[in-house]
Structure 1
Amino acid sequence: MKTISIDGHEEHIVERSDWPMEKVRETLKDETVAVIGYGVQGRGQSLNMKDNGIKVIIGLREGGHSWKLAQEDGWVPGETLLPIPEAVQKGTIIQYLLSDAGQKDAWPVVKENLNEGDALYFSHGFSVVFKDQTGVVPPENVDVILVAPKGSGTTVRRLFLEGRGINSSYAVFQDFTGRASDRTQAMGIAVGS
């Protein structure tokens, strides 16, 4: 990891050489990543993780457009494609990748099904930062982490398929387990950074 100073602010740069795929897989070996939402980021990040050998399940509303698209991409209903409450219950890292409005609407169901020690993962911080408007207030007994690719999920996937990666910002908002930083950095590489 490198540290650089930008206008007096320290920035930590994590490179793939810091997190070879073997280390990523070892860090995430006991995790199940539940991707909630299959829009542009959800689709790209989940397929990249699947291709990287990470255990991934998808949580969606049954029968919707995204459900059908996920099936076309090889996710299997009842196994790797589940209703949102079941996916959250089974996951240990919950990628909350719905739209802002979707995150607000689904939050009561997601919160109710989180387990102590889970990681709640975002790719942007709107819902948590503007909690007064969204109602998204994570419980104290979970990690809250962020990996924000600097491009659309389509670009994340395309660059991954080309054998390249994309720059991402990452942050730990809440570290309940003491493992939030490692989980965040491993996830950053796993999704295609």
Structure 2
Amino acid sequence: MRQIQIGNTTETVVERADYPPERIRDILGQETVAVLGYGVQGRGQSLNMKDNGVKVIIGLRDKGRGWDLAQQDGWVPGQTLFSLEEAAQRGTIIQYLLSDAGQKEFWPKLKPLLTAGKALYFSHGFSIVYKDQTGVVPPKDIDVILVAPKGSGTTVRRLFLEGRGINSSFAVFQDATGRARDRCLALGIAIGSGYLFETTFQKEVFSDLTGERGVLMGAIYGLWLAQYEVLREHGHSPSEAFNETVEEATQSLYPLIAENGMDWMYANCSTTAQRGA
């Protein structure tokens, strides 16, 4: 584990070196991970785990949207591709990666299949935190864990194939077996995380919803649209308005921030640009 300084706070971070392949095999070698759902996260996480030697099966609604895609990716009906119910029955770790609405809908069928000693895994804590609305209350004799990648499943897969890893948060909500933390962290590395930051289910939900509804999926795009419209109203061509709004941000400035941080990006812009800040 590594101690890192973020602002004035020291945090302990779990990294890949803490859970090398042999340790992951020791922890997950006897497990069958049933991934319920083959959306963006389900696809990326399951393929990474399979490539890391974890025994993975996929659970989907028969002939649903992901069924053909799963087969194209090499999952075989009756061997590694099953209905939601059969996959949940076969799995010892259930990765519940349906949409929030899908989790609520399927929960009455899933709960009886969560027998003692299994683990229920989430990548977003909404269903647990808002149990009064979702009805998702796990049995007391199973582990309940979370690994939440800080990016889309597409990015999870892409970084893995590039030999890199995504930042993820992790949490243990319920430890019935005494193995919940190890299961959680081994899975976190197996799905492609490079670093794992500890949190709680509630903090993951609140930070995720704030981020997505604030900056990540809201404010940035609202600002882009507003600036684009102002430029167009003042006679600039669509291409010029786009280049000065979106293109420069995504293709120049943001990559610089990703590489070396905000201060470095700022210092490497013109003095005219700096005055705009």
Count of residue pairs the alignment pairs up: 193
Instruction: Indicate the residue corresponding to 1:130 in structure 2.
Output: 130
In structure 1, the gaps of 5 or more residues are: none
Amino acid at match of 1:79: Q
**2-structure distance, mates of 1:174, 1:12:** 21
Pair 1:35-2:35 in alignment: yes
The reply on whether 1:76 has 2:76 as its aligned counterpart is yes
Cα pair distance change 1:166/1:72, threshold 3 Å: same
TM-score (norm 1): 0.96
Equivalents in 2 of 1:54, 1:117: separation in Å?
18
What's the CA shift for 1:9? 7.3
Partner of 2:97 in structure 1?
A: 97
In 2: Cα distance, 1:167 partner to 1:30 partner: 27
Q: Distance in 2 between matches of 1:187 and 1:134?
A: 25
- Render the CA deviation track for 1:135-189: whole Å, top value 9, x for unaligned: 1111101000000001000000000000111010000000000000000000000
Counterparts of residues 16-165 of structure 1 (less than 5 Å): 16-165=16-165
Gap regions ≥5 residues in structure 2: 194-277
The percent identity for this pair of structures is 72
Report the secondary structure of 2:98's partner residue.
coil
Report the residue type matching 1:163 in the other structure: G
TM-score, scaled relative to structure 2? 0.67
The one-letter amino acid of 2:51's match is D
Amino acid at match of 2:21: M
The aligned amino acid for 1:53 is G
Letter in 2 for 1:148: A
Over the aligned positions, Cα root-mean-square deviation in angstroms equals: 1.4
Q: CA deviation at 1:8?
A: 8.5
> How far off its partner does 1:30 sit?
0.5
Q: Distance in 1 between matches of 2:176 and 2:36?
A: 21
Measure how far apart 1:11 and its partner are.
Answer: 3.7
Q: Which one-letter code corresponds to 2:31 in the other structure?
A: E
State which structure, 1 or 2, has the greater radius of gyration over its C-alpha atoms.
2
Structure with the higher fraction of residues in helix conformation: 2
